[in-house]
Structure 1
Amino acid sequence: MGKICWDFPLLGTGNESGNNIAAITMFKGSGVMDGLAREICQNSLDAKDSSLPSDNPVKVKFELIDVKKSDYPMFKSYEEAVDRSIEYWDNSPLCTPSIKDFLSNIKSALDSETIPMLVMSDYNTVGLNGVNASPHEQSFWNLLVNTEGISIKQNDNSAGSFGIGKNAPFAYSALNLVFYNTLAKDGGRAFEGVTRLVTTQKEYNGTMRPTQPIGKYLYLIDDYTGRPILPSDDCPIAQMGVFNRTEIGTDVAVVGFKKSDYTDWERLTAVAIIKNFVLAIINGQLTVTVKSPKIEYVIDSERLEQLLFIEFGDEPQLKYTRQTYETIANGELIKTKIAEKDDLSIYVKYDEKYSASLSRFRSTGMLINTTTNDVLPHFSVVIIVNDVGEMRLSKTLRSAEPPQHTEWRAKNITDNLTLKNRAGRYIRKIGKEIQSVLDDFDRADITDKMDAGIGNYLPDASDSSGTTEGTDGLKTDVKIKEIKSYDGRVFYNSQYESAESASGAETQQSGVKTGKKKRKKRSKSKIPVVNPGGKSQGVSTGNGKVKIVSPKIVEHRTFYLAGNKYRCFINSPDDYEKVFIQYFAGRDDDKQDSLVVKNLKLEGSPRIEINSEKIGPISLKKGINTLYVEFSNNEIMAVVPVFTMEVSNEKQSN
């Protein structure tokens, strides 16, 4: 005759285990509910019942309840297992302070009269089929409850690929204990508890023997065989009202929820769900209720705008989510092909109040990541990988995600070189498509306002090195210690006062700054000064004196776009005429090379050919001036502009 109990299989010749479980640690983070919210809602979206009408959303409920410990014998037997583990490690030379603290914290959490339990339940899903599967049948119940490192999803849209995400709930339990309960579409019903302790011990044939760290609360048939707890079994904890399902779906319960670490868990959970699933909510794919005895949030497409802009209007975590919402609702949509027709959707919106952001989404509506930079306004870009045709793009990118599903990076694929190369190729192509969309964006409406693009947020579209790597992360800025000018002064980042003095210094050579002779790149013939306005040939040499000064430029920044293209922003404190600009690239030997400008586009003017080391004379208006510069050098450079200005032309008599 079997019994309901905690079972820890004998360790035998297996390895002893401490408390450093990487698969759980990666989801820990006090005060942040993202790991739990992402895992639960992602799994529920993956398990949606496809036979239901498309306008039926997956419904998920997060509810915190208090469980009276004395009403359920399961807690007493669990405490006995913890005590045996403490005794085992007290007598082990391998015991560490970390293991002692780990067990002590669990023991303390069990001292309470009531145990907080966060129950997460989904509906309009298929539940966990296979509760009663034969040994040779696929069982999704077993995949969740009884396997490690195996991921077989119930449909092709599923996001998981490692079988590691199931560990997320344990990171939020002070007892390292989780309950699973399901009413599946195939009619199966089941309940089971799982704990991840450290190596413990139990009596076997009259002797205390070490056991494996993972224990199950189940129906134990014999020493080697067990099954889930069924409705017909007499199990008080499994018969709690919260687990008495009448609708198909799954419950995951974090037992001993860390309320002290997540004192405002309702708000944190609601914010995490909105941030990570805003697209699914907009599209009516997901509805979530967050409930506790003191408050309730209902998150759906009808309430989303109110939550984003009023209820959580001051929530900094949702800053870019608000941009994403507006971009999807009011931005320009472009569909393009990466591997198959219309497999990528790109939304673009410009707004002066925006900080530049690029958000990436799976077709299920789950956010992969958002790369941002507050220094570079004002574009919001949203890309969505669509499941079309053979789903080559979405399947490839799913393989390029880490266990937390927070990026697309080819190097995450370590066991399939062909797939890794394909992922790198797709990721680079996505970057090129985004840049192309922004290049073609209606500049006529925004050029007078725009002061940044998205180039810094994309993989280098010009990369033709044949590398298999691809990254969707924010482009790393070019790192430079310092750049010294040819007369010995130092350029610090983008701040450079180019004049020797504010009043200027005279020289007999037109358009040339005083100081030591600068190092130029070799050229077969002298490259003339070119005037982008087309009305003058620039400053000419002669017998007269020309005073050259520096305009008092408050700030200027030059950003790499792609290939040999850069965008320069000049914040001028006043209107200036006859300004000349020369660009220098820093070198490893602390010297600079003067750069040849192929062409230039002034804000509000057509692009013109330059082919010169010096641009000018041009006019700068007060405020932000935007220049699009293309150099002859096709490489990423630390580029520094030098500004000079002609303020007089005093001709001498012969």
Structure 2
Amino acid sequence: MKKWRFLSNQNSTIVGINDAGIETFTANMNKSLVREIIQNSLDAVIDGCTDPVEVEFVQFDILRESIPDVDELQRAINKCKKSNQNEPDAYKFFLNAENILSQPKIRVLRISDHKTKGLEGTDTCEKGISWSRLVKESGSSNKGQGSGGSFGIGKAAAFACSDLRTVFYSSKDARGLLSNFGVAKLVSFEDKNPGDWTTGIGYYSEDNRFVAINELTKFDINYNRVDSGTDIYILGMHDTDDFENTFTKAVLLDFLVSLVNKKLVVRIQNQIIDSTTLSKYMNKLNPYESEEIKDLLEYYHLLTSHDPKIKKIKLDSAKYGKQFGFKDGECTLYLKEDEGLNRKIMITRRAGMRILEQNRISGSIDFTGVLIIEGNQMNESFKKMEVPSHDAWEPGRVRGEEKKYNNILLGLRKYLRETVKDLFGKVTTNSMDALGASDFLPDKSTDEEEKSLKKDEMSTRIKSLEGKVIEPSKERTRSIDKVEVDSDPEGETGSGKGEEPGPVKPTPPHPGPVIGVNPRNQGGLKNKEGNEKNLKKIQVKKRLMCTNAKSGIYHLSFIVPSNTSEAKLEFTLSGEQSDFELPILNAKVLNGNAKVTSIKGNKVFLSGLEKGKNLKTEIQVEFDKYCMMEVDYYACKK
């Protein structure tokens, strides 16, 4: 009979709420779930399959009675609460779990993979086969060479995301064998008699042998598995703000290389992330949101751009690795030098999951890099040093061979430093040319002057350099958080840092005659001028994009920080010595209920702004070249 079964601990270990495996992933549970699940799926690809592995994350609600033997599960959760009244963390958790399971509908996350082997060995359920390792065993893994995981604790990430600590596994293997099994990782509780404690783990099984049930789980009525692979159902999925966006960012951050190399396709609700749609998701990211996002965009450019500045270097084992058995080409290093880059190298192993970002490579060279470890020997060596969270290497993990693996790790860091230095290191000389001074000095010194010049000393022909100290303006405009340029139909503009020099800072434009479709009546302008003293400068993150440089068209967007009846946008053009006012020809709001009430010079006046709305505006400036602009936002709170 299929039902939930909780085993007695036979008066042995009592299990509490702080399960070591689960606690490993609770700090950032969604990101950890994405990392561990996708990594496991990439490791389970069908032998010889060249198609990308597909992984789905779909969230939905089910009726309470759709959960198998739900009343027995609720009884166990209630006993966990009662048996742990003196344990505040456990009591609070199971009080919440009891409430969730009492609701008419329960939130479920389905995770499904395709082009994978499925859970093999469900006909015998013997120790060591993939079904047993995932469902019943703890801390064991025998994944093949080059796989991403090796500790067998990644499966705990699913339980960390469940407010019921309950997960169902359903699978179809390559032979067509079906399996279904439920696991509840609760805590020890007193069961039938006082002093009779359970192990804290419950299984939904057909009998006391705790083997797989020969059928598929049917929680999602809109889904039917027809190919081989595994479905994981997380019951009582923890609520996540903006589920789709959160999971999408987690996929992009940790599996960029897998996506670019066409090894992975991810579906999140109705969104598809793969090599063909990747650019769409990257274009939505704001580099000023966080350093992590800024770095991600740099790595994406490095892996996908045809920029000739990008260097692609295959490992020469004579330079690094030959003494450890590494062969030529076992890793590939992508590097680019450019001003303002992050001075880091993101490192992945074969499957493509980000392991870590190596920094402290150079304090003087601006560069970014990606290292992909592809060879068998190199993969296995670094896999042995990998910590359970897959985000660092520790030579001490390889007992008895700490010295060897410490040398492997130090050797890699040295190889990266020297490669960066050899490619981008600046040639130093024993002379210094004061900027522009060489234009006014003779090509050769006289004999008497030559006698006074010594090696490694500056020539005393330049007696002194004098300059004025200019006090900066007390009130400075703030730079916008992001400037982007879309490709102009006429080919005048480019996006980001490319091969050509950046835009020349223009001289200030002169206001021309007032023309435009938006309100610019003098009466309205006067009224606004009179009320400007009520508008206060407010710092907001803004995003400015040039959509047509020749016509002077720009799009500005930002999140409105508070409700306001009046607001002002003030635009300035950044010059070499100072900021210049930038005359606005036209302005309009592209979304929402806000309106442009008037325009005066470089100022656009707005009304009806609503808190939390993403306000998008279009402005036209009186300048036919790409401008470096700054924008200040002023508002009057209601």
Fold conserved between structures, TM > 0.5: yes
Query: Residues of 1 paired with 2:256 and 2:215: CA distance?
Result: 37
Given that residues 355 and 376 in structure 1 are in contact (C-alpha distance below 8 angstroms), is that contact kept between their aligned partners in structure 2? no
Which residue of structure 2 lines up, in the alignment, with residue 275 of structure 1?
Answer: 253
Query: Residues of 1 paired with 2:2 and 2:288: CA distance?
Result: 49
Evaluate the alpha carbon distance shift between residue 28 and residue 357 of structure 1 in structure 2; reply closer, same or farther with a 3 A threshold.
Answer: same
Secondary structure of the 2:196 match is strand
Alignment of 1:613-652 (within 5 A): none
**Which residue of the other structure, out of 47, 51, 57, is the alignment partner of 1:50?**
47
Query: Residues of 2 paired with 1:553 and 1:404: CA distance?
Result: 52
**Which residue of the other structure, out of 309, 331, 346, is the alignment partner of 2:283?**
309
**Which residue of the other structure, out of 196, 201, 206, is the alignment partner of 1:219?**
206
Give 1:269 deviation, angstroms.
0.4
Query: Residues of 2 paired with 1:117 and 1:219: CA distance?
Result: 23
**Which residue of the other structure, out of 27, 36, 39, is the alignment partner of 2:36?**
39
Secondary structure of the 2:191 match is strand
Query: Residues of 2 paired with 1:257 and 1:311: CA distance?
Result: 26
Give 1:47 deviation, angstroms.
0.3
Given that residues 352 and 378 in structure 1 are in contact (C-alpha distance below 8 angstroms), is that contact kept between their aligned partners in structure 2? yes
Evaluate the alpha carbon distance shift between residue 378 and residue 160 of structure 1 in structure 2; reply closer, same or farther with a 3 A threshold.
Answer: same
Query: Residues of 1 paired with 2:223 and 2:203: CA distance?
Result: 18
Which residue of structure 1 lines up, in the alignment, with residue 21 of structure 2?
Answer: 23
Which residue of structure 2 lines up, in the alignment, with residue 438 of structure 1?
Answer: 420
Which residue of structure 2 lines up, in the alignment, with residue 145 of structure 1?
Answer: 135
Secondary structure of the 2:210 match is strand
TM-score by length of 2: 0.63
Alignment of 1:451-600 (within 5 A): 531-532=455-456
Query: Residues of 1 paired with 2:238 and 2:407: CA distance?
Result: 43
1:78 aligns to 2:65 (yes or no) = no
1:362 aligns to 2:349 (yes or no) = yes
Evaluate the alpha carbon distance shift between residue 551 and residue 344 of structure 1 in structure 2; reply closer, same or farther with a 3 A threshold.
Answer: farther
Evaluate the alpha carbon distance shift between residue 442 and residue 100 of structure 1 in structure 2; reply closer, same or farther with a 3 A threshold.
Answer: closer
Given that residues 303 and 334 in structure 2 are in contact (C-alpha distance below 8 angstroms), is that contact kept between their aligned partners in structure 1? yes
Query: Residues of 1 paired with 2:365 and 2:468: CA distance?
Result: 25
Which residue of structure 1 lines up, in the alignment, with residue 273 of structure 2?
Answer: 299
Secondary structure of the 2:197 match is strand
1:63 aligns to 2:61 (yes or no) = no
Query: Residues of 2 paired with 1:273 and 1:17: CA distance?
Result: 33
Query: Residues of 2 paired with 1:444 and 1:356: CA distance?
Result: 16
1:127 aligns to 2:118 (yes or no) = yes
Partner deviation per Cα, 1:56-83 (whole Å, 9 max, x = no partner):
1000010001011034443222101112
Given that residues 125 and 212 in structure 2 are in contact (C-alpha distance below 8 angstroms), is that contact kept between their aligned partners in structure 1? no
Give 1:280 deviation, angstroms.
0.4
**Which residue of the other structure, out of 197, 200, 214, is the alignment partner of 1:230?**
214
Evaluate the alpha carbon distance shift between residue 334 and residue 36 of structure 1 in structure 2; reply closer, same or farther with a 3 A threshold.
Answer: same
Query: Residues of 2 paired with 1:245 and 1:47: CA distance?
Result: 17
Which amino acid in 2 is paired with 1:297? Q
Which amino acid in 1 is paired with 2:130? F
Evaluate the alpha carbon distance shift between residue 240 and residue 74 of structure 1 in structure 2; reply closer, same or farther with a 3 A threshold.
Answer: farther
**Which residue of the other structure, out of 337, 340, 350, is the alignment partner of 1:350?**
337
Query: Residues of 2 paired with 1:552 and 1:531: CA distance?
Result: 33
1:110 aligns to 2:94 (yes or no) = no
Which amino acid in 2 is paired with 1:281? L
Given that residues 400 and 409 in structure 1 are in contact (C-alpha distance below 8 angstroms), is that contact kept between their aligned partners in structure 2? yes
Report runs of 4+ in structure 1 exceeding 6 Å deviation.
Answer: 373-377, 444-447, 546-554
Identity %: 25
1:398 aligns to 2:383 (yes or no) = yes
Secondary structure of the 2:170 match is strand
**Which residue of the other structure, out of 319, 331, 334, is the alignment partner of 2:313?**
334
**Which residue of the other structure, out of 226, 234, 245, is the alignment partner of 1:246?**
226
Give 1:285 deviation, angstroms.
0.1
Query: Residues of 2 paired with 1:104 and 1:130: CA distance?
Result: 38
Secondary structure of the 2:120 match is coil
Secondary structure of the 1:269 match is helix
Which residue of structure 2 lines up, in the alignment, with residue 417 of structure 1?
Answer: 400
Evaluate the alpha carbon distance shift between residue 134 and residue 366 of structure 1 in structure 2; reply closer, same or farther with a 3 A threshold.
Answer: closer
Evaluate the alpha carbon distance shift between residue 35 and residue 344 of structure 1 in structure 2; reply closer, same or farther with a 3 A threshold.
Answer: same
Given that residues 280 and 365 in structure 1 are in contact (C-alpha distance below 8 angstroms), is that contact kept between their aligned partners in structure 2? yes
Runs of 5+ unmatched residues, structure 2:
430-451, 472-575, 577-638
Query: Residues of 2 paired with 1:399 and 1:73: CA distance?
Result: 40
Given that residues 6 and 216 in structure 1 are in contact (C-alpha distance below 8 angstroms), is that contact kept between their aligned partners in structure 2? yes
1:408 aligns to 2:393 (yes or no) = yes
Query: Residues of 1 paired with 2:70 and 2:356: CA distance?
Result: 39
Secondary structure of the 1:202 match is coil
Give 1:553 deviation, angstroms.
14
Given that residues 344 and 367 in structure 2 are in contact (C-alpha distance below 8 angstroms), is that contact kept between their aligned partners in structure 1? yes
Given that residues 203 and 210 in structure 2 are in contact (C-alpha distance below 8 angstroms), is that contact kept between their aligned partners in structure 1? no
Aligned residues between the structures? 437
Which residue of structure 1 lines up, in the alignment, with residue 11 of structure 2?
Answer: 13
Partner deviation per Cα, 1:438-483 (whole Å, 9 max, x = no partner):
1221557999xxxxxxxxxxxxxxxxxxxxxxxxxxxxxxxxxxxx
Evaluate the alpha carbon distance shift between residue 264 and residue 371 of structure 1 in structure 2; reply closer, same or farther with a 3 A threshold.
Answer: farther
Alignment of 1:80-99 (within 5 A): 80-90=75-85, 95-99=86-90
Secondary structure of the 1:9 match is strand
Give 1:531 deviation, angstroms.
4.4
Evaluate the alpha carbon distance shift between residue 134 and residue 107 of structure 1 in structure 2; reply closer, same or farther with a 3 A threshold.
Answer: closer
Query: Residues of 1 paired with 2:312 and 2:245: CA distance?
Result: 32
TM-score by length of 1: 0.62
Evaluate the alpha carbon distance shift between residue 378 and residue 47 of structure 1 in structure 2; reply closer, same or farther with a 3 A threshold.
Answer: same
Given that residues 393 and 426 in structure 1 are in contact (C-alpha distance below 8 angstroms), is that contact kept between their aligned partners in structure 2? no
Which residue of structure 2 lines up, in the alignment, with residue 171 of structure 1?
Answer: 160
Give 1:36 deviation, angstroms.
0.5
Partner deviation per Cα, 1:485-518 (whole Å, 9 max, x = no partner):
xxxxxxxxxxxxxxxxxxxxxxxxxxxxxxxxxx
Which amino acid in 2 is paired with 1:142? S
Which amino acid in 1 is paired with 2:367? F
Which residue of structure 2 lines up, in the alignment, with residue 189 of structure 1?
Answer: 178
Evaluate the alpha carbon distance shift between residue 247 and residue 403 of structure 1 in structure 2; reply closer, same or farther with a 3 A threshold.
Answer: same
Query: Residues of 2 paired with 1:226 and 1:535: CA distance?
Result: 87
Which amino acid in 2 is paired with 1:193? G
Given that residues 356 and 376 in structure 1 are in contact (C-alpha distance below 8 angstroms), is that contact kept between their aligned partners in structure 2? no
Which residue of structure 2 lines up, in the alignment, with residue 574 of structure 1?
Answer: none
Query: Residues of 2 paired with 1:84 and 1:117: CA distance?
Result: 23
Given that residues 355 and 377 in structure 1 are in contact (C-alpha distance below 8 angstroms), is that contact kept between their aligned partners in structure 2? no
Give 1:426 deviation, angstroms.
1.3
Runs of 5+ unmatched residues, structure 1:
448-527, 540-545, 555-621, 623-654
Give 1:421 deviation, angstroms.
2.4
Give 1:356 deviation, angstroms.
2.1
Query: Residues of 2 paired with 1:88 and 1:438: CA distance?
Result: 60
Evaluate the alpha carbon distance shift between residue 22 and residue 445 of structure 1 in structure 2; reply closer, same or farther with a 3 A threshold.
Answer: same
